[in-house]
Amino acid sequence: MVPVSALSAPAPSSIAPAAQGKRVFNYSAGPGQMPEEVLRQIQEDVWNCRNSGVGILEHSHRAPVFDRILAEAVQDCRDVGNIPSNYHVLFMTGGSTGQNFMVPMNLLPSNRTGSADYYNTGYWANQSIEHARPFGTIHECASSKGDNYAYIPRPEQVRHSNAPAYVHYTSNNTIFGTQFHTIPTPPNGVPLVCDMCSDIFSRPFDVTRFGLIYASAQKNLGPAGVTLVIVRDDLVQKGNRDIPLMLQYRTFATGESRPNTPPVFCIYAMGLMFKWIKKMGGTAYFERFNAEKTRIVYDVLDRSSFYKPHARADSRSFMNITFRCPTPQLDDLFATEASRQGLDCLKGHRAAGGIRASFYNAMPKAGAETLAQFMKEFERTKG
Ligand SMILES: Cc1ncc(COP(=O)(O)O)c(C=O)c1O
């Protein structure tokens, strides 16, 4: 078994660390790096989960072991997010993309006469908009498209439509590397819906400001395959009934997230992630830790005339850092050379190009220090 603790800076060698069977720093935007102690617990539980003699991959979703795992996952999630009892904690499938159509399908009138407001702050926000269009009138209440999504619109730039059913925004724009630093205020009484896929539980937030929050797991909450939905009970009750049962939130709320066979392993792993977040000091700890890590890399960008950061300084993300070298060829060389040295998955998303480094909760500080070191050396030799 390869020790996960090989996560310290890889020793220089002509053979890439990954090719030597070592683990590397994984800056992927998702699925992303997971904490060592969670991975080790999973290794044990795959063989024999909680002394049941059965591994977690083999447990029935109706078995008492899973009853406990599910109940703990819900409670630990409530503890981490300080989620009151009038909100449901649901585990669903279909990813954040699935939520992009479930939200309008449930919350807009079925006869398509309703409307909803959307912030257009990048690729994933656009996906949300496109998936919602078949269900009603979609109004872009603010957009940073004109500046290639380099910033988060300020409150005075927002224009709401008349009586939207809800307002939707994407709290962290994974591809462009921007992040809302305050929760937007929707018109009075209008529920706020958030795609929190890429920054959930990376910092504290007041759940009661939201009607519905969704986040697929694969960034801060474990392996891909399950999507966390936190939804206020009145919205569940009000949701449309003339849509397929499996697409109604109430089916998951009344069926304890298992109206059919749920992704048992993914819910279990998400439960471990909640326990780990709590143990580390909760979201307040990660807010400080993520700011500290990303500052190390942003400092290099700010002192450099070689690298060009994409996000405006006031809108920078504490999860995904995006920047460019002077040419696309140098971007490619940067990513290839870094990968050879054990710094993996730094190539920007195909929609944005450049470089992207993701610093989810599980990325250790050494990941930021090693990348900063690499950036300085690359600039010194190629600049
Ligand atoms: C902000 C955001 N929303 C939505 C998605 C899509 O998630 P999924 O692939 O789980 O549908 C992603 C994926 O990276 C994302 O970063």
Question: What ranges do the domains of the chain cover?
Answer: 47-279, 281-382
Owner of token pair 């909450």 = 221
Q: What is the mean pLDDT of residues 169-193?
A: 98
Q: Does residue 1 have a pLDDT over 60?
A: no
What is the average pLDDT across 34-61? 97
Closest ligand 1 atom to the C-alpha of 218?
Answer: 10
CA distances for 87 relative to 73, 261, 272, angstroms? 15, 23, 21
Is the per-residue pLDDT at 349 higher than 80?
A: yes
Choose, from 45, 124, 275, 347, the residue flagged as catalytic: 124
Q: What is the pLDDT of residues 97-119, one digit of tens each?
A: 999 999 999 999 999 999 999 99
State the closest ligand 1 atom to the C-alpha of 174, by its place in the atom list counted from 1: 16
Binding site membership of 177 for ligand 1 (Cβ less than 6 Å):
no
Catalytic residue among 219, 275, 293, 347: 219
User: Which residue carries 């109940």 as its tokens?
Assistant: 71
Q: What is the mean pLDDT of the chain?
A: 95
DSSP H/E element including 46: helix 36-47
- Going from the Cα of 197 to the center of ligand 1, the distance in angstroms, rounded, reads 6
Question: Does residue 216 have its Cβ closer than 6 Å to ligand 1?
Answer: yes
Report, as an integer, the average pLDDT of 296-315.
Answer: 98
Catalytic-residue membership of 124: yes
pLDDT of amino acid 13:
61
Q: Confidence band (pLDDT; 50, 70, 90) for 15?
A: confident
Task: Tell whether ligand 1 has an atom less than 6 A from the beta carbon of residue 153.
Answer: no
pLDDT-based confidence at 4, cuts 50/70/90? very low
Give residue 21's pLDDT: 82
pLDDT digits over 16-29, tens only?
887 888 899 999 99
Q: Phi and psi dihedrals of 142, rounded to 5?
A: -165, 150
Indicate the pTM of the whole model. Answer: 0.95
Q: Annotated catalytic, 45?
A: no
Label residue 313 by pLDDT band (50, 70, 90): very high
Q: Is the CB of 294 under 6 A from ligand 1?
A: no
**CATH topology agreement for domains 47-279 and 281-382:** no
In angstroms, rounded to a whole number, what is the distance separating the alpha carbons of residues 150 and 121? 8
Ligand 1 mean position, distance from CA 209 (Å): 22
Closest to 347 (Cα-Cα) out of 22, 9, 28, 32: 28
125 lines ligand 1 (CB under 6 A): no
- pLDDT at position 12, please? 52
Find out whether the beta carbon of 126 lies less than 6 Å from any atom of ligand 1. Answer: no
> What is the Å distance from ligand 1's center to 238 Cα?
26
Select from 216, 317, 349 the residue to mutate for testing ligand 1; criterion: most ligand atoms less than 8 Å from CB. 216
SS3 273: helix
pLDDT digits (tens, 9 = 90+) for 48-89: 999 999 999 999 999 999 999 999 999 999 999 999 999 999
Residue range 265-274: mean pLDDT, rounded: 98
Nearest CA to ligand 1 atom 5: 96
**Check: CATH 3.40.640.10 for 47-279?**
yes
Is residue 93 in contact with ligand 1, taking CB distance under 6 Å? no
Does the beta carbon of 178 lie inside 6 Å of ligand 1?
no
Neighbours of 365 (CB within 10 A): 12
Domain 281-382, what fold? Aspartate Aminotransferase, domain 1 (3.90.1150)
CA of 97 to the centre of ligand 1 (A): 6
Give the separation between CA 217 and CA 322, rounded to whole angstroms.
Answer: 22
